[in-house]
Structure 1
Amino acid sequence: MAVLKVIEILSNSEKSWEDATAKAVKQASKSVKNIRSAYVQDQSVIVSGDEVTEFRVNLKVTFEVK
């Protein structure tokens, strides 16, 4: 039987939500091993004037505890 843990991670990108998600998983994998999945719980943007300047994601990352 595997034991799994879920942590919450916030990330941002100037490119896209997908890029913010990928950056979060890549950074988390430096200290968290055995990542199984990432669930995008929430998405938002920062707007300056009439332009989107930043994409933000709130992720739930699941990993196996050994």
Structure 2
Amino acid sequence: MDKVYKKVELVGSSGESIEKAIETALSRANKTLRNLDWFEVKELRGLVEGGKAKTYQVTLEVGFRLEE
């Protein structure tokens, strides 16, 4: 069966880690988007305070399957 996908861009953030920032974005998207199938990390950023990473920010492109 052929499939068609739509892509959207999300930005997740976390004070813990890059992985947590990704999970935050995907968890929130999953509440309103159905058929999430994949993601691609487009950008990584962070906030520095006192010479240490304080917040991680990840820009994702997320693909979800369009329904018939």
Normalised to the residue count of structure 2, the TM-score between the two structures is 0.93
5+ residue gaps, structure 2, are: none
- Give 1:1-66 correspondences, 5 Å limit: 1-66=2-67
Matched residues, number: 66
Normalised to the residue count of structure 1, the TM-score between the two structures is 0.96
5+ residue gaps, structure 1, are: none
Root-mean-square deviation (Å): 0.6
Q: Which has the higher strand share?
A: 1
Question: 4+ runs of 1 displaced by more than 6 Å?
Answer: none
The percentage of aligned residue pairs carrying the same residue is 27
